[in-house]
Every structure is written in structure tokens, then in C-alpha cells.
Homo-oligomer: A and B are copies of this chain.
Amino acid sequence: MTRFEGPDALGHIQSLPSWLVGRVAARGRSLVADAIAEEGLRLPQHAVLAAVAEYGPVAQADLVRRLGFDAKDVVLLLNHLEDAGLAVRRPDPRDRRKNAVTVTSTGLRTLERCAELAERANAELLAPLSEAEGRQLMELLGRVYEA
């Protein structure tokens, strides 16, 4: 085991995988957030809008479950998306407790531009790596995450 824990305490923390992956994640988050800010969206708004687009008319509780977001936050995020004309809430006739949330055509176009922007931001993130190394990084991260 390592001696001299005190003098190297911070260095030890910063040598841990959890610290390094946290730093890279922060950088990636920042890059993507700045990119899609060009479309006036924040990261959680983008995620909710994408989930709405993917799962068609969907209840908010489903979004909560699929995204792992808090129900309250989904309410506020959808308020914003609706105000921006990107998504629509309509009552579900089959279950009057539910809202059937849909993406608008404007929202779909915004989503396509965001996909492009996010992809470019990720290219910038992985710029120091070759294509093969980028795939390898993804493969390793995938195995860690699935565990």
C-alpha cells in the first residue's frame, strides 16, 4: 500500500478513474450544452424533447420512467417545450389522468439540428483520439456502464 497518504492526498484522488471520468464527463457536458444552446435548448430539455419524439404520443409518467428524471422537473421542462412550440400536451382520451405528449414539426426540426450540433460537439471531445481509439473508449465505457 501507499505510504505518505497525507502529502499526496489530493493527487491520489485525482489519479482515480472516478475523478478522471468525471472531468471528461464535465467537459463533454459543457461542449454539448454550449452546442445545443445555439438552438435555445438546455440538456434536460433536449433529452425530454428527444424522448417525446422517440416514443410518440407518450404520458409524462412514461417520460419520467424512461429518463429517470423527477416528475416535477418533467412538468417544468414540458412547460418550457410547450411554450417554445416544440411539444404539445393533449388529454389522453383512454385515460383521463394522462397527457398524450407529442412533438411538433418545429420541435422535430430543432431536434434534427440538435443532433447535428451534439455530434459535432462529441467529435470535438474525442478529437485527441483516432477513430479506432474512440470506438475502443466507447466499448470500454459501455462495459463499465452495463455492469
Contact = CB atoms under 8 A, between A and B. Distances in A.
A145 to B, nearest CB: 5
Does more than half of chain A's interface fall in helix, strand or loop, or is it mixed? helix
Interface residues of A, number: 63
A28 interface: yes
Contact of A126 (B2, B17, B24, B51): B17
Contact of A50 (B9, B127, B129): B9
A12 B144 contact: no
A125 interface: yes
Q: Which of A13, A122, A126, A146 has the most CB of B within 10 A?
A: A13
A64 interface: no
